[in-house]
Amino acid sequence: MALSTPPPSDALPLLPLLGGIEAGGTKYVCAVAYDPAKPLLEARFPTGEPRETVAKAAAFFREAAAIHGSIRSLGIGTFGPARIDPAAPDFGTILTTPKAGWSGFPLVEELRKALGMDLPVAFETDVNAAALGESVHGAARGVRNVAYITVGTGIGGGLLGDGRLLHGRMHPEIGHLAVPDLDAAYGKATQVCPFHASCLEGRASGPAIETRWGKPGHELPDDHPAWGLEAQYLAIGCLQLTAAWSPDLILLGGGVSQKSGLIDRVRDELVKLAGGYWDLPPMEDYLKLPALDQQAGIVGALELARRARGKTSEDAPAL
Ligand code: ZN
């Protein structure tokens, strides 16, 4: 008796299931999807001690497997600094961080162990993942050269040139671009970065605003002098990116950037600082808010997983 094989059903998805992790310093977001822009299941939990956090992530993917089947590849956008160079012997490791227990933690290796699978893994910074998410599925679709800056508890940025995430010896650290001291004009002297005398993150991150003015940004009214100063600092960061790399588009993301009217002030400041030197597009096309909002990181992580598909751990993910 011959056994017949049922014909493939159109109802069954032909795409492999993707796993994504937005591995933030304060929260982890895990998701599975066939289409990176449409997560099917998602879990969020605070980033705790590393092994406990990895166990929670693995538990999520096991639960998701019971419904959708096993994931075939995994994309991770992590807080940094992290070893993202696939050729490095310690690829997949979190580097020196003040976050307790995480320095030197081999995240990719531990996740593979916890999942019990040697699946392809793409490992990137969280801001690079968000840049990728916006580039493929959000506000930067169809744009060749994109800079994504997030302004929140810290300031970070990802750069995407011709569809590829840009890396150097490490990864970009846009938050630590040097900026001049504009605080003095306001009778202030706030610089919260412990490493640098005057850098963008130290002057313009959420904690810098709160330290300088004694209140978090969301409690400061739209006409507070804080926003004029913030716009000046952010415009300097945008100017430096423009001068050093000349992107087609700069996306200004993160909680602080959402402040009503802030992006218009940054645009005005950038026009002044640019001094007519560059043939820049209209500011509303050059400097924009992201489209995916808080989803950019996880959508980008799923997109990383899609790109890692078909690669083995030996054949390191290349973007
Ligand atoms: Zn710094």
Tokens of 19: 């796993």
Work out the percent of the chain whose per-residue pLDDT is above 90.
84
Q: In 3-state terms, what secondary structure has residue 215?
A: coil
- pLDDT at position 7 is 46
Q: How close is the Cα of 176 to the center of ligand 1, in Å?
A: 4
- Per-residue confidence band for 98, with pLDDT thresholds at 50, 70 and 90: confident
Intrachain domains 2-129+294-308 and 139-290 with the same fold: yes
- Per-residue confidence band for 282, with pLDDT thresholds at 50, 70 and 90: very high
The three-state (H, E, C) secondary structure of 120-183, written as one string: CEEEEEHHHHHHHHHHHHCCCCCCCEEEEEEECCCEEEEEEECCEECCCCCCCCHHHCECCCCH
- pLDDT at position 267 is 98
- pLDDT at position 170 is 84
Mean pLDDT, residues 285-297 taken together: 94
- pLDDT at position 9 is 47
Domain boundaries, the chain: 2-129+294-308, 139-290
Sign of torsion, CA 39 40 43 44?
positive
Task: Report angle CA 123, 128, 132 to the nearest 5 degrees.
Answer: 100
- Per-residue confidence band for 120, with pLDDT thresholds at 50, 70 and 90: very high
- pLDDT at position 294 is 86
Tokens of 174: 């846009």
Mean pLDDT, residues 217-236 taken together: 97
Cis (ω within 30 of 0) for the bond into 81? Answer: yes
Asked whether residue 112 carries a pLDDT value surpassing 70, the answer given is: yes
Asked whether 287 and 280 are in contact (CB, 8 A), the reply is no
In order, the DSSP letters of 233-292 are: HHHHHHHHHHHHT--SEEEEESTGGGSTTHHHHHHHHHHHHHTT-S-PPPHHHHEE--SS
Mean pLDDT, residues 243-263 taken together: 96
Asked whether residue 146 carries a pLDDT value surpassing 80, the answer given is: yes
The label of the residue with tokens 């003015």 reads 213
- pLDDT at position 13 is 54
pTM for this predicted structure: 0.88
Q: How close is the Cα of 70 to the center of ligand 1, in Å?
A: 41
CA distance 111 to 68: 19
| 139-290: CATH class | alpha beta
Q: How close is the Cα of 80 to the center of ligand 1, in Å?
A: 14
Phi/psi for 124 (5° steps) reads: -140, 175
Q: How close is the Cα of 199 to the center of ligand 1, in Å?
A: 5
CA distance 139 to 165: 16
- Mean pLDDT (the chain) is 91
Asked whether residue 173 carries a pLDDT value surpassing 80, the answer given is: yes
Sheet with strand 164-165: strands edge to edge? 164-165, 155-161, 145-151, 249-253, 287-288
Q: How close is the Cα of 247 to the center of ligand 1, in Å?
A: 23
CA distance 93 to 169: 15
Q: How close is the Cα of 200 to the center of ligand 1, in Å?
A: 7
CATH of 2-129+294-308, one of 2.30.130.10, 3.40.50.150, 3.30.420.10, 3.30.420.40: 3.30.420.40
- pLDDT at position 171 is 84
Q: How close is the Cα of 96 to the center of ligand 1, in Å?
A: 15
Mean pLDDT, residues 231-247 taken together: 97
Sign of torsion, CA 174 175 181 186?
positive
Task: Give 32-70 pLDDT, tens digit per residue.
Answer: 999 999 999 999 999 999 999 999 999 999 999 999 999
- pLDDT at position 312 is 42
Q: How close is the Cα of 281 to the center of ligand 1, in Å?
A: 30
Query: Which of 242, 231, 238 is closest to 277 using CA atoms?
Result: 242
- Per-residue confidence band for 311, with pLDDT thresholds at 50, 70 and 90: low
Q: How close is the Cα of 197 to the center of ligand 1, in Å?
A: 8
Mean pLDDT, residues 208-220 taken together: 97
Mean pLDDT, residues 264-292 taken together: 97
Asked whether 122 and 308 are in contact (CB, 8 A), the reply is yes
Asked whether residue 89 carries a pLDDT value surpassing 70, the answer given is: yes
Asked whether residue 2 carries a pLDDT value surpassing 60, the answer given is: no
Asked whether residue 3 carries a pLDDT value surpassing 60, the answer given is: no
- Per-residue confidence band for 99, with pLDDT thresholds at 50, 70 and 90: confident
Number of neighbouring beta carbons within 10 Å of residue 48: 14
Q: How close is the Cα of 203 to the center of ligand 1, in Å?
A: 9
- pLDDT at position 315 is 39
HSE-CB for 234 with a 13 A CA cutoff: 37
Give buried/exposed letters for 249-276 (b at 16+ CB in 10 A, else e).
Answer: bbbbbbebbbbeebbebbbebbeebbee
